[in-house]
Amino acid sequence: MGGETNPSPAPTTLTRREALLQLLRAGGVAAGATAAGVLLSEHSYRPVPALAEQGRRDHRTAADPQLPHLTVVQGGEPRALVQRALEDLGGIRRFVSRQDVVVLKPNIAWDRTPEQAANTNPEVVAEVVRQCWQAGAKRVIVTDVSCNEPRRCFQRSGIQAAARAEGAEVVLPDPELFREVDLGGVVLKSWSVFTPFLEADKIINLPIAKHHELTGVTLGMKNWYGILGGQRNRLHQQIHQSLADLANFMLPTVTLLDAYRILLRNGPTGGNLEDVATKKTMVAGTDPVALDAYVAKAWWNLDPEQLPYLHMAAARGLGSVDYDKLPVNFSQLG
């Protein structure tokens, strides 16, 4: 009718959980999040026998009530994402001290290029190496136990060249550098562990966000499979329990999850560029359970009930599945 207008729709009230998910989902080339800064609540390496007899490796950083448990940074290139994420969490010196031996654990499992998003972005790894040197680290080691042929994986991923360019030691898996360790788990008891992970002062987890055919996703905690030797495919029979066991054995100093590119389908190996989405995002924090729960829900719509390892890990006091009840910081670059 002449002059009449339809009334404006009633505003939709989002829960805090929904708002958190919307902010992460907005990530991408055309990311539109505006909540910037809003606080919502080949070297030789020899083992030291005595160290391998110890059990759990707990490298956790003490909580700080003034700092977020998680930070989400969107809209930048990989090095800038790392820089801002660490800044939001209190700076690299919160995690790395002078004379520390720091081991970085990216995903270097597959004979893939960075564009295929099966391995951690090499520029993410390089920037974390640089940051560790700035904090006064004594040694910075980059390593992983690859699934495909290691030399091919380390080279084709770009991680070997990028890490060495920043002065890191790049250690390929060597059969002589594994040792049987009592992991103290329910299904993971005595298992072969790569020695650099047993001797580090600090361990920084650098996973990439990917689909996984068995668990739905492979994020921070699944990345710990790369510290193990032996026949890891045996663990797939009880994969969720083995993930919780690993998370209870290896507790990182901090996790920086690479989501510059993510593998939405056909993971964990990928290969088809059509399965890759560019998100230009990093999710980082000190609560590995919350980090996995948040990212799994935001990009794969998976609840913790669909990822039993999350509840198993939370029951052991390793973190919280209720990410919406934790302080989370959002930053937008560019």
**pLDDT over 70, % of the chain:** 88
For 27-41, how does the pLDDT look when each residue is reduced to its tens digit (9 = 90+)?
654 333 333 333 443
Between 237 and 96, where is the model more confident? 96
Q: How many residues does the chain have?
A: 334
Q: How many CB atoms lie within 10 A of CB 229?
A: 16
pLDDT number for residue 40: 40
C-alpha 299/C-alpha 284 separation (Å) is 16
Characterize the bridge pairing of strands 101-106 and 139-143: parallel
Which range, of 63-67, 163-167, 251-255, averages the lowest pLDDT?
A: 63-67
Q: Which long-range contacts (CB under 8 A, 24 or more apart) does 76-80 make?
A: 76/280, 76/333, 76/334, 77/123, 77/260, 77/280, 78/121, 78/123, 78/124, 78/127, 78/258, 78/260, 79/123, 79/124, 79/126, 79/127, 80/333
For 268-307, how does the pLDDT look when each residue is reduced to its tens digit (9 = 90+)?
999 999 999 999 999 999 999 999 999 999 999 999 999 9
Local confidence band at 54 (pLDDT 50, 70, 90 cut-offs): low
C-alpha 73/C-alpha 313 separation (Å) is 25
For 203-257, how does the pLDDT look when each residue is reduced to its tens digit (9 = 90+)?
999 999 999 999 999 999 999 999 999 888 888 889 999 999 999 999 999 999 9
Local confidence band at 179 (pLDDT 50, 70, 90 cut-offs): very high
Local confidence band at 55 (pLDDT 50, 70, 90 cut-offs): confident
Domain layout of the chain by residue ranges: 16-332
